[in-house]
Amino acid sequence: MQGERVRSSHGTGLGLWIARAVVAADGGTVTAPAEGGPHVEVRLPRTTA
């Protein structure tokens, strides 16, 4: 599987796909807005020890 860099869309690369899967497994989210270039935001749930 190989990702393709497309200027008008995000999330098509294999690395971002893997990051989304790993973060989602912990209950978090990964977003990559179309505007603003390669900005990626990762949100993880707060855990209590």
Confidence of residue 43 (pLDDT cuts 50, 70, 90): confident
How many structural domains is the chain composed of? 1
pLDDT in tens, 9-42: 454 567 777 888 888 888 888 887 766 566 777 7
pTM of the model: 0.50
Residue-range definition of the domain harbouring residue 28:
1-49
* Res. 1 pLDDT band, cuts 50 70 90: very low
Alpha-carbon dihedral of residues 19, 20, 22, 24, nearest 10 degrees? 160
What pLDDT score was predicted for residue 31? 80
Distance from C-alpha of 18 to C-alpha of 14, rounded to nearest angstrom: 6
